[in-house]
Structure 1
Amino acid sequence: MKAVVILSGGLDSTTCMGIAQKDGYQLYPLTFDYGQRHRIELEAAAAVAAHYHVSDQHQIASLDWLGVLGGSALTDQTMDVPSAGEEKGIPSTYVPARNLIFISLATAYAEVVGATAIYLGVSAVDFSGYPDCRPAFIEAVNQTLALATEVGVNDQKESIQVVTPLIHLSKKETIRQGIELEVPYHLTTSCYRGEAKACGKCDSCHLRLKGFAENGVRDPIPYHDSVSVNV
């Protein structure tokens, strides 16, 4: 069995690598370079792929157009990355249609290599309010993949499916599962600001630190000296 894992180099996608491996899949990681300010995650993704001995299968797809398009604090350098809790509703760090685009390209990769699963590390519990992290979105995408792919048309019993093992888990539960699977969290990055040391202030850092603290475990990545990571 083969699975494409959409691998950002972050905590959630790396946990998905561990889960997909546990589920018995050959791993085909796919990382996107979309002009994100936190491009340090590309290095993290490569390190994670190497840890799982699948560097040869690791693809990095260029999506510069998303960076040029802007419209998000993650791709537009003129916009500030907000601190956790500063925004209500859909935050400025939402990248328009990002997961929809990622899944489309991951589907193409899956068809070429013969994978039947696409692992995506979205959560509808501890998340930033992004519309493309909801179960309804994933359900709709899977219905579409059954209609839009060769395997879906030719094999009525099986089609490529997006698998979201974290979608109903809190960050605490995700990290607990990752620890059990010996996921290499020390290789990951989550900070939206993309500096060598995590800021500890953005929403992504806040959720990550909270999850580790609730597990009674110290987050293994470096943070700015002003940030407390004690548990």
Structure 2
Amino acid sequence: MSKLEEKKAVIILSGGLDSTTCMGFAKEAGYALYPITFDYGQRHRIELTNARKVAEFYGVAQRYKEVKLGFLREFGGSALTDDAIDVPKVADEADVQESEIPVTYVPGRNLMFLSIATSYAEAVGAEAIYIGVNALDYSGYPDCRPEFIAKVQEVMTLATRVGVEGKPITIQTPLLDLTKADIVREGTRMGVPYELTTSCYNGEAEACGECDSCRLRLKGFAEAGRVDPISYKA
């Protein structure tokens, strides 16, 4: 297949475990990778550095896009964008309440990410967008549910030229029905560079190991029988 004929996918890449695993799935599916990440003033800005490293690992640094959405910090309303709201500590993974929307939810984030990724995908001729949403270990985020993805897919088809012409961009959610342990197993099988990722909401050089994102990540590695390659505070 020539460069002009190669199939392309945009990957919403945060530099975390899930989105980096999506890079692995997209590569395995034979797509040319077009990673996009978002600087929205998040507390855990270290993920921006990690996303660039992941793009470099996959040899697509020249296609890597970083979009600035600093107004989300101005809006606030989340522990990830408002320093006045603390990131909750969780005693263990059993205390992660998936029936409640946590304070780490960022209003409208995935809706905005998918909208911008759609614009990027249509501009570069990509046929798919990969996003690492998960319906099992999803920590209660409403914009990680299958119903949300299905509705956004409908809107994308209606709102884009390629959709109207009968060749809609599809949202790919390979992690949707996987546990964190399943994700780790699949990523390990594909050689995903988890040592370049972070999942911690506090954004320090060493992961805290106490926020719900860290707890779910550690649970995933433990249940997969793997050792998490990143550093945690003692």
Please indicate, yes or no, whether the TM-score normalized by the shorter chain is above 0.5. Answer: yes
Q: In the alignment, what sits opposite 2:209?
A: 200
Which whole-Å CA distance do the structure 2 matches of 1:13 and 1:63 have between them? Answer: 19
Task: Please report the TM-score for the alignment, with normalisation by the length of structure 2.
Answer: 0.94
Q: 1:86–1:174: structure 2 CA closer, same or farther, 3 Å change rule?
A: closer
Which whole-Å CA distance do the structure 2 matches of 1:55 and 1:118 have between them? Answer: 18
Which whole-Å CA distance do the structure 1 matches of 2:134 and 2:60 have between them? Answer: 25
Q: In the alignment, what sits opposite 2:121?
A: 110
Whether 2:81 is the aligned partner of 1:75: answer yes
Unaligned runs of 5+ in 2: 1-6
Whether 2:157 is the aligned partner of 1:146: answer yes
Whether 2:66 is the aligned partner of 1:66: answer no
Q: How many residues align?
A: 223
Q: In the alignment, what sits opposite 1:186?
A: 195
- % of aligned pairs identical? 60
Whether 2:54 is the aligned partner of 1:48: answer yes
Tell me how far 1:86 sits from its aligned partner. Answer: 6.8
Please report the RMSD computed on the Cα atoms of aligned residues, expressed in angstroms: 0.9
The residue type equivalent to 1:22 in the other structure is: E
Unaligned runs of 5+ in 1: 226-231
Between stretches 174-183 and 81-90, larger displacement belongs to: 81-90
Maintained 8 Å contact 2:24/2:187: yes
The runs of 4+ residues in structure 1 deviating greater than 2 Å are: 84-88
Q: Report SS of the residue matched to 2:9.
A: strand
Deviations 1:140-195 (A, max 9, x none): 111111100010112x2x20111100000000001100000000000001000001
Which residues of 2 match residues 122-133 of structure 1 at below 5 A?
A: 122-133=133-144
Task: Please report the TM-score for the alignment, with normalisation by the length of structure 1.
Answer: 0.95
Q: 1:213–1:66: structure 2 CA closer, same or farther, 3 Å change rule?
A: same
The residue type equivalent to 2:27 in the other structure is: Q
